Amino acid sequence: MSMKTISPQDAAKLIKDGAILVDVRETDERAREFIPDAAHHPLSKLEAAGPARSDAKAVIFHCRSGMRTQSNAAALGNASQCEAYILEGGIEAWKKAGLPVKTDAKAPIEIMRQVQITAGGLVLLGAALGVAVHPGFYALSAFVGAGLMFAGLSGTCMMAQILSVMPWNRRANLA
């Protein structure tokens, strides 16, 4: 199937006419903010269950900014059984257009953003302590850098696994 981009306003009209909106973000990303009535089919599990009902006139896929949806357009188009679209700008553009979004401020930010914040903080801490206290603290920055390289090469992020069992993330894990 072909994949065209569609503006949030045009997508809202199409949804009123029977199209379905599919959120392809992962569960932890969706927990904090989502478009009401959007089906949830994470990209990581998309092949296991097709996103579109057989009676849907069209399907509109969205992620946070549209980049992930755009880069997976071929797979998403193949998974749909009808005309398929990409929501231009993702949920961010949907919000800017003044369209409804549900937010759960109590939900934690997604794990990968927590990893980025933690890794960045540890690298800065290691560098600052290396300058101000003792050069041995540079090893902290090197350790974090090595961990990020390992995560990139292996697909396994130990920091994400540790953060996912922290108390503030337990609520999201139960969902």
**How far apart are the C-alpha atoms of 37 and 78, rounded to whole Å?**
23
Q: How many whole angstroms separate alpha carbon 169 and alpha carbon 128?
A: 29
Residue 36 contacts residue 107 (beta carbons within 8 Å): no
* 63 labelled catalytic: yes
CB-side neighbour CA atoms (13 Å) of 11: 29
Among the options 3, 43, 60, 63, which is catalytic?
A: 63
What are the CA-CA distances from residue 116 to residues 74, 75, 109, 120, 144 (Å)? 29, 28, 11, 6, 11
Residues that are catalytic:
63
